[in-house]
Amino acid sequence: MLEQLPLYQQAILTLAALVMFTSFALLAQSRVVPMIHVFAWQGLLVAITTGLVAFDSGKHDLYISALLAVLLKALFVPWLLHRLVTRLGIDRDEHGAEHPATVLLIGALLVIFCYYVAEPISELSASVTRNTIAISMAVVLLGMLMLVSRGKAVAQVVGFMSLENGLFFAAVAATHGMPMVVELGIAFDVLVAAVIFGVFFFHIRDSIESLDVDQLNRLSESDE
């Protein structure tokens, strides 16, 4: 089935599978520095996909999107997170889920659910579109799963950024991109969010001497 598709569509599906693989790698990772490295690879894969879509569709504005994806998702945000965890002295701390096997099983079920939801799309479009939409939805849901299954702020931020990668991948692979004004706005939002998260980390550490978000709940319970 895969070999019958055009080479371009095969490449898109391969990149989509690799993006989803990095989402599972993020769920399975317990160390924060390798987690940031995996996130950087995910951003690079999204950027390569954007460049490939630009080459096939002839939309030159997507080359700008690919360049922004490389600069922000694969370079700047991972560099900023790596610098923050080093300055905070948490680069050797555990940031994994309490029950990693259960989290991975839930992630696999979410992927099956996404393919089930995307099944009606096969009647309206090519199979490659159905697959890319299903995988994009899965990356978004896996990012949300990482948000709710991790107690450390840094891991939650990586999950949020991975969720955004899923939305960006869906826009590029399934619809050949958004208007440039919208993409520039999203890129700016990601840049501002990364800086704000950095300030947020230091405020949490100064307030409770930890980046464990669960301790904030304990503080609110003790105040009551």
Average pLDDT score, the chain: 77
For residue 36, which of 121, 95, 87, 89 has the smallest C-alpha distance?
95
User: Does 44 score more than 50 pLDDT?
Assistant: yes
- Location of structure tokens 């702020």: 153
Domain that holds residue 112: 2-223
Enumerate residues 6+ apart whose C-beta is below 8 A from 223: none
**Amino acid in the structure at residue 12:** I
Whether residue 26 contacts residue 40, with contact meaning beta carbons closer than 8 Å, is answered with no
**Rounded CA gap, 111 and 137, in Å?**
8
Using CA atoms of 103, 106, 108, 111 in order, give the dihedral in degrees to the nearest 10: -120
Which of 59 and 109 is assigned the larger pLDDT? 109
**pTM score of the predicted model:** 0.80
Do 110 and 116 contact (CB within 8 A), yes or no? Answer: no
The pLDDT of residue 92 is above 80: no
**Number of domains the chain is built from:** 1
pLDDT digits (tens, 9 = 90+) for 65-88: 888 889 888 888 888 888 888 877
Q: 176 near 62, Cβ under 8 Å?
A: yes
